Chains A and B, each alone.
Chain A
Amino acid sequence: MKPKKSKGSLLVKTLIFGAMSGALYYLLFSNEEWVTTTYTMGGWHTVYPVGTALLFSFVHGAFASNFLSLLGIEPKGGH
């Protein structure tokens, strides 16, 4: 079994990824007009929604993962 991560490092990671995720969501919704127009232009612009979804999944996914660990919700056996 891997050694458990310390609460302190989990908290730092959660805060960093949480802040990054929050900033990304803020950026998106504060530029709603530009985003909705540009992202739906079709053709090669498909890289915008697909790339953004990937970026959010890395950042927000890491935040969610660390947040759950911080709450003590871990898989059985601690993978």
Chain B
Amino acid sequence: MRRSLISLIVCMLCLFAANAVLAGGGGPPKNLIKGFFLRVDSDNTALFKKDVTGQEIVLKLSQDIKPEDVPLNRKVLVTLKTEGHKITDEVKRISIMFINLPVSKVVALLVVGLIGGLLSGFIGSGGAFVLTPSMMSLGVPGAVAVASNMCHKFPKAMVGAYKRWKYGQADIKLGIIMAASAIVGVQIGIQIQKYILDHWGNAGSNLYVSLMFVIILVVVGTYVFYDAFKLKKGGKEAQVTRLARALQNINLPPMVHFKQAGIRISLWFTVPVGVATGMLAATIAVGGFIGVPGLIYVIGASAMVASATELVIAFVMGMWGSIQWGLSGLIDIRLTLLILAASLFGVQLGALGTTYVKDYMIKIVMGAVMLIVSVSRGAKIPGYLADLGLRSPLSPEKAVFYDAISFWSLVAALATAGIIISAAMIKGMLQARAETS
């Protein structure tokens, strides 16, 4: 009876998730078209051939775009201007779809991929938050950067999840239930975003995303950090939180036993954590920052099991996301595979690194990354406030300054994580060697 009830609820979640896939949520924006410019006319219009369908349409160029700047016969992404819900035929922005890849760019992608993979293998998520902006700074159009990054995330997570499952850390059942709930959460997140976009426009939506990002990351990150330091100072093993213990004691059928995590808890408490992860993934693009702390503090998993299980969630969500972006033909596989070349080393290093460290090290890295990353979004807030007319407009110098803070704080987060993880791993390996010799 209990087993069939669990199966029924999981099936319903999967059906919701499948429905979400069919509805096409989470894909690229609708005002983005892909194809080639065939000709530019003197009246500031251009003949555009859409990719795949081959349909030829006439587009108007906005005043900021000079006719000589329009690349002919090269695959481009065109962002069209919107008026409310209506998509106009006026070109807002043109981006070359496939950037040239000189050695310097290849090296940059490999380095970011390696450290991103290391972080991902160690704390279960991360890397993506810095990979997308890094690719964009190399000249990759935003939508292609998101798509190519997503397509690198799921194979990397798969390899990491496999390794950590072998080490006895990943709970596949918990991961699959969380992932199915998270896909439902993504849909709710998208609806909230749409509501905000309709009522407060693009600047309002950006402000909402940034505020959510900063508040959640600062609150959760500080708590994770505080918890880690308490454990490090006290030298004690991590305890299951009072909240998680109370929830585990509530006998609300269907109760599910997660063998690897060593937890027995009602499905009614597992699903909301998954939904919240998905909602956050849809809002701030890094669901793991709520998924891992949720698994630790609400469900009662250890940081080791939570970070490993997050990789299972990242695999399912990443695969789903990649299919969505692939359907729109926006994945630049060259970028995906270049990042993957290094991140498959990084993720396995990070995964085996967890076997040498204490549970609290994962919390230290996670807390540190969350707090530094929150600075990057915080630096965007003055610009969005100015867009909404809630403060005086930013001078061009200040705008550049805030952008630089935003980008470099992401790089700092990745570098800090790389240094802490490497140092902890080397220390652990040397200790283990000394013990065996």
Residues of A bordering B, CB below 8 Å: 25, 28-29, 32, 35-37, 39-43, 45-50, 52-54, 56-57, 60-61, 64-65, 67-68, 73-77, 79
Q: Please pick, from A49, A75, A79, the residue contacting B322 in the complex, using a CB distance under 8 A.
A: A49
Pair A53/B432 contact, Cβ less than 8 Å? no
Chosen A-B contacts, 20 in total, with CB atoms closer than 8 Å, are A25-B337, A28-B334, A29-B334, A36-B333, A40-B75, A42-B34, A42-B52, A46-B322, A46-B331, A47-B326, A48-B333, A49-B322, A49-B331, A50-B151, A50-B323, A53-B154, A64-B345, A65-B163, A67-B345, A76-B355
What residues of chain A lie closer than 8 Å to B330, measured between beta carbons? 40
Task: Give the contacts of B405-437 with A (CB-CB under 8 A).
Answer: 428-429, 432
Q: In the bound complex, what is the Cα–Cα distance between A71 and B97 (angstroms)?
A: 39
Q: Please pick, from A28, A47, A73, A74, the residue contacting B333 in the complex, using a CB distance under 8 A.
A: A28
A4: min CB distance to chain B, Å: 12
Majority SS of interface residues in chain B?
A: helix
Pair B352/A74 contact, Cβ less than 8 Å? yes
Known A-B contacts A35-B334, A53-B155; A40 and B329 likewise in contact (beta carbons under 8 Å): yes
Pair A53/B75 contact, Cβ less than 8 Å? no
When A and B form their complex, which 9 residue pairs have the shortest distance between CB atoms, in order from nearest? A46-B326, A57-B155, A42-B329, A40-B329, A76-B355, A75-B352, A75-B355, A49-B331, A61-B159
What residues of chain A lie closer than 8 Å to B158, measured between beta carbons? 54, 57
Q: Which residue of B lies closest to A46 (CB)?
A: B326
> Interface code B317-344, partner A: CB below 8 Å = 1, 0 otherwise?
0010011001111111110110011001
Q: In the bound complex, what is the Cα–Cα distance between A35 and B338 (angstroms)?
A: 14
Q: In the bound complex, what is the Cα–Cα distance between A74 and B352 (angstroms)?
A: 7
Known A-B contacts A40-B51, A50-B323, A73-B352; A57 and B344 likewise in contact (beta carbons under 8 Å): yes
Pair A35/B348 contact, Cβ less than 8 Å? no
Q: Which residue of A lies closest to B336 (CB)?
A: A53
What residues of chain A lie closer than 8 Å to B356, measured between beta carbons? 75-76
Pair A50/B326 contact, Cβ less than 8 Å? yes
What residues of chain A lie closer than 8 Å to B326, measured between beta carbons? 42, 45-50
Known A-B contacts A36-B98, A43-B327, A79-B355; A60 and B334 likewise in contact (beta carbons under 8 Å): no
Known A-B contacts A64-B344, A64-B348, A74-B352; A79 and B159 likewise in contact (beta carbons under 8 Å): no
